[in-house]
Amino acid sequence: MKKERKKMDPRATWPRPVTEEERAQILQYLEERFGFSPALFEPYEFLSTAKNYWLFAHTPHREALARVLRVQTAGLLFLRKVSGYLKPTTAALQRFGRLATRNVLDLDRFTLDRLRLEKKIPFTAELETGYVILRCEGDIWGCALYLPGKLISYLP
C-alpha cells in the first residue's frame, strides 16, 4: 500500500510584516518586561500571522520571496498573542534569554524538574506578576507564568 504523505497547504502565504507602530509596541514590551535592548533586534523584522509574531532577518529580497514562493515558515516563532498578552516562545528565550536583564527567575535543578513534571507549583518570589524567563545553572530553559503564590510552566 502506498504511504500517504502530508501535502503542503496550497493557501500558505508569507506572513504580514508588522507596521512601524506595531514594531515599536513589541520592542517596548520586550524592553519593559525583560530588559531586552531594542538594538538587539535591529537586524531583524517582525512578521505577523493570526496569533503569532515571527522574527526574520531583514532583507531587501523579502517582497520578491513573497511574490514567488509559498512558504511554510519564515523565521523564528517569537511571540504568541495569548488573551491580550504577548508570551515569548521557548525558542525565542533559549536564543536571546541570556541577554535579558529583568524578570529572569533562577531555579535550582530540583525545582526546575518539579515544574517540568507538575506544570504548576506553589511558588513565591519577589517578581512582577506575568511571564518570566526560567534560568537554571546559567542555562535559559524557557518561559513560565508567575502569579502570586504559584508558577505555571510553559516549557514544552
Partner 1 sequence: MAETSSLAETYFERYREIIPSYEEFLRALSQPLPLYFRLNTLKLRDPERVIKGLGRQGFQVRPVETIPWFFQVEPREVSLGNTDEYYLGLIYPMTLSSALPVYALDPQPGELILDLCAAPGSKTTQIAQWTEDQAVIVANDKRLDRITALVANLRRLGVACVATTVYRGEQFPLGINFDKVLVDAPCSGEGRYRKGYEGELLFQKEGHTNLPAIQKGLIVRAYDLLKPGGILVYSTCTVNPEENEAVVDYLLRKRQAEVLAWDPPLPSHAGLTEWEGRPFHPDLTKARRFYAHEIQAVGFFVAKLRRTA
Q: Which amino acid is at 70?
A: R
Nearer to partner 1, 34 or 56 (CB): 56
C-beta of 111: minimal distance to partner 1 in Å? 15
Tell me how far apart the terminal alpha carbons of the chain are, to the nearest angstrom.
Answer: 35
In terms of DSSP bridges, do strands 85-88 and 104-106 run parallel, antiparallel, or are they unpaired?
A: unpaired
Taking CB under 8 A as the rule, which mask of x and - marks residues 39-78 in contact with partner 1?
Answer: ----xx----------xxx-x-x--xx-xxxxxxxxxxxx
Nearer to partner 1, 71 or 147 (CB): 71
150 is an interface residue for partner 1 by CB under 8 A: no
The alpha carbon torsion through 101, 102, 104, 105 (nearest 10 deg) reads 130
Nearer to partner 1, 24 or 65 (CB): 65
Phi-psi region of 119 (alpha: psi -120 to 50; beta: other; left: phi over 0): left
- In the structure grid, which three cell numbers stand for residue 142, read together? 524557557
Chain mean position to CA 90: 6
Return the residues of window 94-133 that contact partner 1 according to CB under 8 A.
Answer: 94-96, 98
Positions touching partner 1 (CB under 8 A) are 5-8, 43-44, 55-57, 59, 61, 64-65, 67-78, 91-92, 94-96, 98, 138-141
